[in-house]
């Protein structure tokens, strides 16, 4: 028995060592730009050997934890490869002169200095914050009103729910081109009767308002469904008791329904905030960020409707400045994480008060 345990332990260590060595070697080949075709299979084989070593590890006390880890490993590994490792590499690349393929040196904070000296980038940041404020307020208000309508006792409720949610199923690129046709053709034909021949997309201010309208039209139905779920969880006996006590519709809404769905409001506020910050596809398809700004920080800008995500994309892909684009992406991540944490904490404190 002792000999079998010793052999099993030796086999476990061999598998663990071989698995770790295989994965490290595969990653080194990948990061060094090697053209070897066996990098992927080597990484997979190394991961399998590592898991096999964990499985055969001769311990009774922690065997259950090891088995749980093995089942979680595919998810954790995918998360590390697609999120954690790229995030870490992105932070490193932001301090270099990386051109998308290789880097030749470290430039320190030069990319960040260049970024903050760029009026177009500052404009995109301010425009993004303005877009977030408009959408976070309007989408939640409209979505909540639609949810109240869709939880009433009128006929055809399921039809209305499906109709309001339908725009969310359309991809942002397709949606942008559809509304571009509406603004540039259908709407002009209507407004031309009053002498208004210009498209709303030809003016920076009205184009920004158009992006807000399209995004609300797309996202309000999704938020509505979350509010519908929250409103349907309000106990009916509480609502009946309020009616017996003589509470009218407004009193029931503000004194009972809204306080009881405070957690739902927190979720919807968080979703609208993060989604608005990351707006890219509608912005790209509808205006591609174009628009004139006569005087901003003493400069004439041509990216009047370009928000932060599109600015990062154009910097990295269009202008081929990958390191500068990565520095902007790092700042974008910091802003989004900070604002999201502050919003959740404020919303949670309001939940306690309600």
Q: What average pLDDT is seen over the chain?
A: 85
Question: Half-sphere exposure of 275 toward its Cβ, with a 13 Å CA cutoff?
Answer: 22
CB distance 121 to 307 below 8 Å: no
Q: Are residues 87 and 152 in the same domain?
A: no
* Higher-pLDDT residue of 72, 306: 306
Q: Are residues 35 and 159 in the same domain?
A: no
Q: How far apart are CA 32 and CA 45, in angstroms?
A: 20
Q: Are residues 131 and 45 in the same domain?
A: no
Q: Are residues 57 and 159 in the same domain?
A: no
Domain boundary among 30, 60, 93: 93
Q: How far is CA 235 from CA 149, 158, 227, in A?
A: 18, 21, 15
CB distance 121 to 311 below 8 Å: yes
Q: Check pLDDT > 60 for residue 2.
A: no
Give a yes or no: residue 150 inside a domain. Answer: yes
Give a yes or no: residue 156 inside a domain. Answer: yes
Q: Are residues 148 and 236 in the same domain?
A: yes
Q: Check pLDDT > 80 for residue 329.
A: yes
Give a yes or no: residue 106 inside a domain. Answer: no
Domain boundary among 60, 93, 126: 93
**What DSSP line would sit under 289-339, residue for residue?**
T-B-EEEETTEEESBTT--HHHHHHIIIIIS--HHHHHHHHHHHHHHHHHH
Give a yes or no: residue 29 inside a domain. Answer: yes
| End-to-end CA gap in the chain | 64
Give a yes or no: residue 99 inside a domain. Answer: no
Q: Are residues 211 and 345 in the same domain?
A: yes
Give a yes or no: residue 166 inside a domain. Answer: yes
Give how many domains the chain has, as a whole number: 2
Q: Which tokens go with 128?
A: 């993004």
Q: Which tokens go with 308?
A: 């932060």
Percent of the chain with pLDDT over 70: 93
- Overall average pLDDT of the 229-238 stretch: 87
Q: Are residues 88 and 126 in the same domain?
A: no
CATH number, domain containing residue 161: 1.10.3720.10
Q: Are residues 262 and 194 in the same domain?
A: yes
CB distance 140 to 268 below 8 Å: yes
Q: How far apart are CA 227 and CA 263, in angstroms?
A: 10
Q: Are residues 76 and 136 in the same domain?
A: no
Give a yes or no: residue 248 inside a domain. Answer: yes
Q: How far apart are CA 154 and CA 151, in angstroms?
A: 8
Which residues make Cβ contacts (< 8 Å) with residue 291, sequence separation at least 6?
203, 204, 207, 208, 302, 303, 304, 305, 306
Give a yes or no: residue 104 inside a domain. Answer: no
Confidence of residue 51 (pLDDT cuts 50, 70, 90): confident
Q: Are residues 77 and 161 in the same domain?
A: no
Give the pairing type, strands 293-296 and 299-301. Answer: antiparallel
Q: How far apart are CA 167 and CA 159, in angstroms?
A: 14
Q: Are residues 189 and 253 in the same domain?
A: yes
State the residue range of the domain holding 55. 2-93
CB distance 261 to 224 below 8 Å: no
Q: Are residues 250 and 348 in the same domain?
A: yes
**Which pTM value belongs to this model?**
0.81
Which DSSP letter does residue 108 get?
T
Could you read off the pLDDT of 146-173 as tens digits, one per residue? 999 888 877 878 888 888 888 888 888 8
Which residues make Cβ contacts (< 8 Å) with residue 50, sequence separation at least 6?
15, 16, 19, 20, 23
Q: Check pLDDT > 70 for residue 331.
A: yes
């Amino acid at each position: 028995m002792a000999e079998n345990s010793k052999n099993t332990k030796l086999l476990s260590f061999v598998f663990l060592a071989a698995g770790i060595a295989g994965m490290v070697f595969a990653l080194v080949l990948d990061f060094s730009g090697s053209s070897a075709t066996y990098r992927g299979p080597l990484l997979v084989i190394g991961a399998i050997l590592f898991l096999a070593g964990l499985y055969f590890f001769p311990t009774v006390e922690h065997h259950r934890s090891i088995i749980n880890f093995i089942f979680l490993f595919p998810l954790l590994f995918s998360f590390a490869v697609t999120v954690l490792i790229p995030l870490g590499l992105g932070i490193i690349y932001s301090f270099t002169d990386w051109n998308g393929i290789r880097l030749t040196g470290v430039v320190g904070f030069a990319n960040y200095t260049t970024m903050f000296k760029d009026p177009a980038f500052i404009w995109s940041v301010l425009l993004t914050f303005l877009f977030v404020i408009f959408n976070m307020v309007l989408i939640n208000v409209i979505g909540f009103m639609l949810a109240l309508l869709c939880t009433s006792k009128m006929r055809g409720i399921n039809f209305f729910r499906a109709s309001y949610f339908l725009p969310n199923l359309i991809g942002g690129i397709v949606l942008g081109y559809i509304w571009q046709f509406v603004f540039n053709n259908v709407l002009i034909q209507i407004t031309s009767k009053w002498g208004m021949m210009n498209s709303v997309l030809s003016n920076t201010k009205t184009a920004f308002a158009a992006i807000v309208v399209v995004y609300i039209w797309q996202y309000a139905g999704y938020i509505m469904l979350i509010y519908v779920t929250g409103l349907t969880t309000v106990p009916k006996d509480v609502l009946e008791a309020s009616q017996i006590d003589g509470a009218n519709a407004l009193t029931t809404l503000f004194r009972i329904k809204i306080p009881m769905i405070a957690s739902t409001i927190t979720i919807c506020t968080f979703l609208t905030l993060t989604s608005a910050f990351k707006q890219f596809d509608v912005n790209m398809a509808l205006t591609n960020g174009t628009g004139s700004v006569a005087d901003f920080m003493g400069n004439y800008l041509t990216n009047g409707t370009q928000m932060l995500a599109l600015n990062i994309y154009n910097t990295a892909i269009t202008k081929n400045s990958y390191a500068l684009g990565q520095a902007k992406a790092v700042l974008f991540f910091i802003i989004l994480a900070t604002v999201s944490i502050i919003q959740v904490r404020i919303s949670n404190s309001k939940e306690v008060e309600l």
